[in-house]
Amino acid sequence: MQIAFIGFGEAGRAFVDSRRAGGTHAFSAYDIKDTPEMAAAMAERGIRQGVSPGAAIEGVRWVFSCVTADQSLNAARSVLPHLVQGQVLVDINSVSPGRKRQTAEEVEAAGARYLDMAVMAPVHPRGHATPVLMAGREAGELAADLLAAGFRGEVVEDAPGAATAIKMVRSLFVKGLEAITVEAMLAAEASGCFDRVLASLSASFPGLEWPGNVAYNFERTLKHGTRRAAEMEGSAATLNDLGLNGGLASEIARVQALMGALSAEDLAGGDLGGAIAEVVKLRLSKGASTG
């Protein structure tokens, strides 16, 4: 396969690493972060680095858009003038169904093809074989080609946005559970009742495997909170577009953003009580409420 990535962060790198392990493929990429670290990440994987989005997608069939949620439409528009008939924009970004429908309209108006793809699990360790959902007017044909190349997933509908709708609604629960766990444990620590609250939750919800559940949710929000916050804004837009209440998703986004802004990845995986106490201090020092 010949694949270009617009945005070469965690997802793009994971896809390349797993694809390279299965054979010889041609990859190119463009990332707005033109840094030595980004150049090194591409070079060590044998990626052709495009000097522009147009240069990156030249001559490839598959164009994977893997950017932060707030940049998904800008990323698509950066390649619109350069797309040619037969090229496929695979939009894996965690955005609202409305955003994907708008992107699909613009891509198809440019003469190219569009595939709504929702990545339904962490991209490590499976890379391109991570389970996905796909939707779009030509999703059946396009999905068949991807599945034959080792991707794993299913087509849910022929309407763009149908795949991401499932992810956005599911994410409200998954990222919300992370956020409420973090906030409850921070409040417990700040109130001086951490051990009692943890013991009570462990007795009431033993299936969540406490205290490992707490450590896991802190690690995820500290490491991925910024990206998760953008995803939850997409969930908020999804609910608002449905006429429902997107306010909860917006608050989850705020908690995720506060955690992601701490630059405290080194706290994860250590002593749980000490890590949570340190996060309380960091959050309070930024003037953010823990309640």
Q: pLDDT digit string (tens) for 81-100?
A: 999 999 999 999 999 999 99
Whether pTM exceeds 0.75 = yes
The pLDDT value recorded for residue 289 is 47
Domain extent at residue 94 = 2-159
Q: Where a domain ends, among 138, 159, 180?
A: 159
Q: pLDDT digit string (tens) for 16-33?
A: 999 887 666 799 999 999
Of the pLDDT bands very low, low, confident and very high (cuts 50, 70, 90), residue 270 is low
**Average pLDDT value for residue range 195-211:** 95
pLDDT for 266 beyond 60: no
**Average pLDDT value for residue range 183-207:** 94
Q: 148-178 as b/e, with b when 16 or more CB fall inside 10 Å? A: eeebebebbbebbbbbbbbbbbebbeebbeb
Q: Where a domain ends, among 142, 159, 176?
A: 159
Percent of the chain predicted with pLDDT > 90:
81
97 and 205: one domain?
A: no
Domain of 250: which CATH number? 1.10.1040.10
Q: Where a domain ends, among 139, 159, 179?
A: 159
Of the pLDDT bands very low, low, confident and very high (cuts 50, 70, 90), residue 111 is very high
150 and 207: one domain?
A: no
